A and B are shown apart, each in its own frame.
Chain A
Amino acid sequence: MRIPRWTAVIAVVTICVAAAALGTAGSSNAKPTASTTVALVSDIGKFTDHGFNQNQLAGLTRAKAKLGINTISLQSNSASDYSPNFNSAIRKGAKLVIAAGFLLAGTEATYAKQFPNVHFAITDYTVHTSPFSNKKGKVLYNNVEGLTYQANESGCLVGVLAAKMAHKMGGDTIGAVGGVKIPPVDIWIAGYKFCAQKAVPGTKVLIQYSQDFVATDKCKTVATNEISQGAKVLFQVAGGCGLGTLQAADDAGIWGIGVDVDQYKLAKRVLTSGVKRVDNGVFAVAQQEQQGQFKGGTDLNFDLKNGGMGIGKISPSCPPAFIKLMNSYKAKIIAGTLKVPSALK
């Protein structure tokens, strides 16, 4: 095929001019940083996941508005983005870098070792385990703070409502659709199962995993499977994937329960949501940093008592007696008279 020569010339000239313009334009964007700078690095769930990552970003945004700190938010789209995001946060002058979850633990440990003068925090991860501690449990890095959540306590509360609703619907079978069988997921389900069976003895709890935190269709398949086994209420513990669980509950006319954030508006039949205030964790550690009270080498724990855990909006279809019962569980947990297990047996 023939294309006139001049097109080639134009193309080459355009590229060269564009390259030169891009290279030289505005290279001085270094601003003096007077106040504290806090960075948040997302995991591959990204800041658009309607849950875990997005909620942490909300906490960071709130910290920026209320505390007047500078903030940097960096999104990871794949495993190769973790390290460059930490690097970029430190280069941009972050005094505290918060990692959004266990996927970033390995990379954070590497950077904590490399940059002992920078503070690090990690959501949903304790510093008393590898890679932040050695095999004997000795904490290796004094510049890392863990942010841990007693999700079993919120799981317990939604479990009470789930069991009572299922009983009212004449089913006595409820289900949970987890993402992957890992402790941060199982801690929810452990509380859910424990309190459901305590509130309505004999309740059958189906537990299955979609092996995914992103693809809604996978959770929908697992949810449909549990519904066919008679589940009347489904608790989704799979982040963005779990929207498929809520949809399946809608389609089948049973009840769904959201997770991490208040997901009441994401489907028509959402009973309530187990809320984990990861935004409060981000806010709290940012505030610590600003006030010079960062506590490296320790965990900052969040539970029902300090408002780090909670539940979302409850559907008006839920009888007040059930809510009253749930509140009695809540009071017992806060008072310390009810111990909820944090792992599935």
Chain B
Amino acid sequence: MRRGGKDGVSDRPDPDAVPETPEEASATGTLAARFALRQRSGGLIVPVLTALVAFLLGGLIVLATGHNPLLAYRDIFNGAGLNWIFHPTTSMVSTASYNLSQTLLQTTTLILTGLAVAFAFRCGMFNIGGQGQYFVGLYVANWVGVSLPHLATFPHIVLGIGAAILAGAVWAGIAGSLKAYVGAHEVITTIMLNWIAIWIGTYFFGDGGPLQNSQNATVPISNDVAASAKLPVFWGIQALQGLDVGFFIALAALVVFWALLNRTTLGYEVRAVGFNPEAAAYGGISVKKNLIRAMAISGAFAGLAGGLDMLGYLYHFATSDIPVSNIGFLGIAVALLGRNTAVGTGIAALLFGALLFGTTHGLSSNVIQPELAGNLTYMIQGLVVLFVGADVLILYVWNTRRRLRVRGVTA
């Protein structure tokens, strides 16, 4: 293993630097690694409190605008279809079940974009490129779905999803390779790759683009994918955006994420690099290889998200839909709140999925005007993200204080 010190990882680390506690290990790792570690050491209570405080503050802001926060939250809760569990009245069950199916559609995507961020985090990297990786997955799935109309259903779906996973992996792999070989920071490169993906999509679906509508060439919208490429819907009606089997694929991805990290050599190496690249290199683990591998796997999750969205319910995409999509960025919040774990990501994805759908569709225009409701969506999401970020700060202060106390005792 020969490597330069460009990315701050030297060839022969000092043996004395081998960490004894995770906390010390984090002090020597990358910023993202320290961040990730602090996060996980916080346990279950901190994220729960974080979310509660964010909701409380969101409620105060709703109150300040002269609306009843309890009514607003009730509407969000019902709008997300979570009242389906209670079956309040027979007349509402169908509405609730439709809403819940939509919330779970959002959850499906958020689980995968969340995992895309979480996996890179566990290797000490901050993948901000989930959005771009999601887009390339979306484009490729659309291309496969549209251009092979005579394929049988099963191979068509497998091919579409497989291509989306591969596209996402390659897209993120570029950032991973750049990090490994020239030391380019992944935060910068993934953000740049996001923009490249956005403009590629604008070209693909735009006027005269290769994926633009062939039936009505006057609108910058792609064709619908062929019927054989559409994922089966198990809840609701396919034409009315029912819940597709992609949901189960996302749940399976949670298990894969957990097993990959905790039950395979690959996962062990990825985590070792995440804890402390120098120590990992000293132990004979190729840091370069693992940086690329971890990014590619991250991208595969995000690409899968794009593929499932395209084949599961979107079927087509327009250039104007590209700049307003932020599901990949929300994955960052999901991963942070979920502590970069499989279970945490799953729960956080459900929370954000419910928020996303509930605020957009639950808030009745009698309680809050629709033009305000749209902003409320972003405000509550923003508060949750802010507090998720803030709890890292709280933990940092907490840990520093404890370390100082320990030092004071030993001195």
A contact residues vs B (CB 8 Å cutoff): 1, 3, 7-8, 11, 14-15, 18-19, 21-30, 42-48, 54, 57, 72-75, 77-81, 83-85, 87-88, 91, 102-103, 105-106, 110-111, 113-114, 129-131, 135, 180-183, 211-215
A-B contacts, 21 listed (Cβ < 8 Å): A1-B43, A1-B398, A7-B49, A8-B45, A14-B52, A23-B85, A43-B320, A46-B374, A47-B370, A48-B374, A48-B375, A80-B102, A80-B105, A84-B99, A103-B320, A110-B240, A113-B239, A114-B239, A182-B207, A182-B220, A214-B324
Q: With A and B bound together, what is the CA distance between A29 and B364 in angstroms?
A: 10
Chain A residues within an 8 Å CB radius of B71: 26
Q: Select one of B86, B218, B239 contacting A23, CB under 8 A.
A: B86
Q: Select one of A14, A18, A47 contacting B374, CB under 8 A.
A: A47
Tell me if A28 and B89 are in contact (CB < 8 A). yes
Nearest residue (CB) in A for B95 is: A91
Tell me if A27 and B89 are in contact (CB < 8 A). yes
Tell me if B98 and A213 are in contact (CB < 8 A). no
Determine whether B323 belongs to the interface, using a CB cutoff of 8 Å to chain A: yes
Q: Select one of A25, A30, A78, A114 contacting B240, CB under 8 A.
A: A114
In angstroms, how far is the closest chain B Cβ from the Cβ of A295? 22
Tell me if B357 and A84 are in contact (CB < 8 A). yes
A180-B207, A211-B206, A214-B324 given; A110·B239 CB < 8 A: yes
Chain B residues within an 8 Å CB radius of A27: 78, 83, 88-89, 92
Tell me if A87 and B371 are in contact (CB < 8 A). no
Q: With A and B bound together, what is the CA distance between A81 and B98 in angstroms?
A: 13
| Interface SS, B side | helix
A-B interface contact total, Cβ < 8 Å: 167
Tell me if B45 and A87 are in contact (CB < 8 A). no
Tell me if B374 and A75 are in contact (CB < 8 A). yes
Q: With A and B bound together, what is the CA distance between A26 and B409 in angstroms?
A: 58
Tell me if B371 and A57 are in contact (CB < 8 A). yes
Using C-beta atoms within 8 Å of the partner chain, give the interface range for chain B. Answer: 35 or more
7 shortest interchain CB distances as A-B pairs: A83-B241, A130-B215, A130-B216, A79-B321, A27-B88, A47-B371, A23-B86
Chain B residues within an 8 Å CB radius of A46: 371, 374
In angstroms, how far is the closest chain B Cβ from the Cβ of A166? 28
Determine whether B377 belongs to the interface, using a CB cutoff of 8 Å to chain A: yes
Besides A23-B85, A79-B317, 20 new A-B residue pairs in contact (Cβ under 8 A), listed by A number: A1-B398, A11-B49, A22-B73, A22-B78, A22-B82, A23-B82, A23-B83, A23-B88, A24-B86, A25-B70, A29-B364, A57-B371, A72-B365, A78-B326, A87-B98, A91-B94, A91-B95, A105-B221, A130-B215, A211-B319
Tell me if B74 and A26 are in contact (CB < 8 A). yes
Chain A residues within an 8 Å CB radius of B41: 1
Q: Select one of A18, A24, A214 contacting B323, CB under 8 A.
A: A214
Tell me if B219 and A182 are in contact (CB < 8 A). yes
A14-B52, A80-B106, A211-B206 given; A44·B85 CB < 8 A: no
Nearest residue (CB) in B for A53 is: B371
In angstroms, how far is the closest chain A Cβ from the Cβ of B383? 17
Determine whether B26 belongs to the interface, using a CB cutoff of 8 Å to chain A: no
Tell me if A129 and B216 are in contact (CB < 8 A). yes
Tell me if B219 and A85 are in contact (CB < 8 A). no
Q: Select one of A18, A26, A106 contacting B221, CB under 8 A.
A: A106
Tell me if A81 and B360 are in contact (CB < 8 A). yes
A1-B43, A84-B102, A183-B218 given; A11·B207 CB < 8 A: no
Nearest residue (CB) in A for B216 is: A130
Chain B residues within an 8 Å CB radius of A54: 371
Chain B residues within an 8 Å CB radius of A1: 41-43, 395, 398-399, 402
